Structure 1
């Protein structure tokens, strides 16, 4: 999964790097769309967390028939929900982007980019639901391989569709979105072929299963979706703060956001692969294994993120130069890398605790932890830093917010693991 996440997030960073060659204005326009793209991802991840937890618990308890019915339901309902969300975001685009601080010139660029980008988001959500089903059954190899495949297809298509080749003039900014559409389409074709031979889906008893599972599903998916939707909301508020500093700062922030998700590849891989394992332990009542898994995961996350963060911080001028040739954007991006990247060790701890909470029946605690991370620690520090010292202060404030959130999550996990072994649902 780490290899797959690296490939998937790498192609998003490559998208932004190619778009940066078009100029500051297209990169800033793309950056304005990130919070709404994260909104779609938040809904799909919340639903994926719930289905992975319920399917893995059913498999751990030996209920294979129920696991098949749950798999079918999430594919049908999930794609329909994301389709409705995509349509709503398309028709509401102008007032939403104006509120985020986009000027008329940026809106014109966004208008051509937004429709194919929303189509790509819907295809990506359908692909993610398929990944969730495979992960719930303990198969992380296929999702990881498909992430690599879609990334390679996107990487090959990006320069052709953005800049053109020969007599083909290229599409500019919309070309990045169409490359993603085609890449996800290839992934869905492969996923559909593999699912047909797995016998993980059922066509009968879906209505009865829906009535039976709606409450436990919403009990996990509701708080999980709220937890996942809070980062897009925070991203909207953050980019509104950054927009006051200037267009170059918005472009640098957009590149830093892409680099953030790429640098968190190990954490994201664990948040996808660890919960199904924890869910099976939950179903089997093996709490000793839960404790061992969490301790090991936390050690790996902190060690890896500190090593990666410090290395990138030391190399920040060269990394920024590679991602953006514009001197203004490059200098601002270097500042963000220098302060933010090492702080992701603490952010990784918080993300892991939230992910484990959803898998082990602590969805409300996980949701509250997400809210505290963003609205008590991160945003106030970011805003105060920007107010005091501009872009440098913003970078320091965001890093401090991540550190505070990581410490709070660590204290919460220590109390949970030290408590008597009782039903997590009872302790929520």
Structure 2
């Protein structure tokens, strides 16, 4: 089982590392433009996470429903579901992107952006939304491959698009020769071209695999809407909570000044990179769990979850401690401003080790959507952010103050969330032959 989990996860881990790594390097390039462009980019992160939350929620539904259909031997239905989600996903993300473009000024003012930041954002936000839409289409395609058990192709495509972006970033941001470069918008246009390249190659491979179906889509839409909404709805709500929490957090950070916002943005990029193995497992594990769920193999589900949690805790704790020790040097590599370097090192020392607990929570939430308890997964995600993370963040700022207070509060929130998720998982899987929702309902009656 360990070897199978490794084969399923390592391509996605490499892909996630390359994809998130280029985003971190992208911010490092922007940091060379100055504090103001980096702060402007950092203000856009919560809204970018909002788009990603919607697409990930739909991607979870794709993986869960298609893997269950394949586990039950319904291959033709799986092809119809793939076609439907690609079409609906493209439309949903397009509408969301348009709304975020139309209402950008009032939204960013609420987040604490001043006039200088708003001017920088205005040039950057349009191409960034186009990049987000193309990235969502690519992600939906990846979800189809993961649902069919193929993690190798999505992983290699993530690496390819990341390399294209990394090559284009310095050219479009800083220019070359007589070409002056585009500055901050150049980072967004590099991502547009990278995702467009990936989308073309992905489309060709999907056609070759014949995993899509044109016939019977309307009938499938009517019969599967309830099941899709039942999974995608709670999953999207779960995924939309982090952007909401990020908006509230950055509005607090904005009170500490532009330098603090820039530092917080870099730390957010570093967080996603350091969680690469967890993110890869949240992509590779649910389809496997979904097939076990469809076949009623609860013994295998138990073994999978124990192994996955062990890997997450050991990896994240080891990586977090090493990076915390190296925080002064890593901060110097990522940030040009001495003030940002010092604040980033402070965040790294407290936050990175706590991602072991955060990884446990993320894995439990992801597994819940595959195992038929999406509502409980959504509630767990809400508890992590609004009962653990944000209150601890607020306490850290008001009791300790400054960036150190933010870091200590966020770290404590991560630890509490991990402990709560572990407790929930043990109760849900206490009697695995029964449906998880019924187990929780019974346990709540007797608690």
TM-score normalised by the chain length of structure 1: 0.99
- Mapped to 1, the partners of 2:431 and 2:297 lie a distance apart of 15
Q: Which 5+ residue runs of structure 2 have no aligned equivalent?
A: 1-11, 441-447
Cα offset for 1:390? 1.4
The answer to whether the aligner puts 1:354 opposite 2:384 as a matched pair is no
Q: Secondary structure at the match of 1:6?
A: helix
Partner of 1:288: 299
Of 171, 187, 195, which residue of structure 2 is paired with 1:176? 187
Of 28, 33, 38, which residue of structure 2 is paired with 1:22? 33
Partner of 2:71: 60
Partner of 1:189: 200
Aligned positions, number: 428
The answer to whether the aligner puts 1:416 opposite 2:420 as a matched pair is no
Cα offset for 1:24? 0.2
Q: Secondary structure at the match of 2:209?
A: coil
Cα offset for 1:424? 3.1
Q: Which 5+ residue runs of structure 1 have no aligned equivalent?
A: none
Partner of 2:124: 113
Cα offset for 1:426? 3.8
Partner of 1:401: 413
Does the 8 A contact of 2:67 with 2:148 survive in 1?
yes
- Mapped to 1, the partners of 2:388 and 2:340 lie a distance apart of 27
Does the 8 A contact of 2:66 with 2:82 survive in 1?
yes
1:281-311 residue CA offsets vs partner (Å, 9 max, x unmatched): 0111111110000000000000000000000
Partner of 1:278: 289
- Mapped to 2, the partners of 1:409 and 1:138 lie a distance apart of 27
- Mapped to 1, the partners of 2:152 and 2:436 lie a distance apart of 30
- Mapped to 2, the partners of 1:419 and 1:426 lie a distance apart of 10
Partner of 1:207: 218
Does the 8 A contact of 2:298 with 2:432 survive in 1?
no
Cα offset for 1:7? 0.3
1:40-66 residue CA offsets vs partner (Å, 9 max, x unmatched): 000000000001100000000000010
Partner of 1:378: 389
Does the 8 A contact of 2:35 with 2:262 survive in 1?
yes
> Are residues 211 and 427 of structure 1, via their aligned partners in 2, closer, same or farther at CA, if it must alter by over 3 Å?
farther
- Mapped to 2, the partners of 1:199 and 1:287 lie a distance apart of 31
Runs of 4+ displaced beyond 4 Å: none
Cα offset for 1:425? 4.7
- Mapped to 1, the partners of 2:325 and 2:431 lie a distance apart of 41
- Mapped to 2, the partners of 1:427 and 1:106 lie a distance apart of 50
Cα offset for 1:140? 0.3
Q: Secondary structure at the match of 1:138?
A: coil
- Mapped to 1, the partners of 2:347 and 2:433 lie a distance apart of 42
Stretch deviating more after TM superposition (377-386 or 25-34)? 377-386
- Mapped to 2, the partners of 1:117 and 1:15 lie a distance apart of 13
1:313-340 residue CA offsets vs partner (Å, 9 max, x unmatched): 0000001000001011111100000000
- Mapped to 1, the partners of 2:383 and 2:213 lie a distance apart of 40
The answer to whether the aligner puts 1:322 opposite 2:299 as a matched pair is no
Cα offset for 1:401? 0.3
- Mapped to 2, the partners of 1:135 and 1:427 lie a distance apart of 29
The answer to whether the aligner puts 1:219 opposite 2:230 as a matched pair is yes
- Mapped to 2, the partners of 1:123 and 1:424 lie a distance apart of 36
Of 40, 43, 51, which residue of structure 2 is paired with 1:32? 43
Cα offset for 1:279? 0.5
- Mapped to 1, the partners of 2:336 and 2:319 lie a distance apart of 23
1:163-187 residue CA offsets vs partner (Å, 9 max, x unmatched): 0000000000000000000000010
Of 158, 169, 193, which residue of structure 2 is paired with 1:147? 158
Q: Secondary structure at the match of 1:244?
A: helix
Does the 8 A contact of 2:292 with 2:300 survive in 1?
yes
The answer to whether the aligner puts 1:165 opposite 2:176 as a matched pair is yes
Cα offset for 1:383? 1.2
Q: Secondary structure at the match of 1:418?
A: coil
Does the 8 A contact of 2:238 with 2:377 survive in 1?
yes
Superposed CA RMSD in Å reads 0.7
- Mapped to 2, the partners of 1:214 and 1:142 lie a distance apart of 28
Of 364, 372, 375, which residue of structure 1 is paired with 2:375? 364
Cα offset for 1:419? 2.2
Cα offset for 1:420? 4.5
- Mapped to 1, the partners of 2:328 and 2:397 lie a distance apart of 21
- Mapped to 1, the partners of 2:40 and 2:76 lie a distance apart of 47
TM-score normalised by the chain length of structure 2: 0.95
- Mapped to 2, the partners of 1:233 and 1:417 lie a distance apart of 30
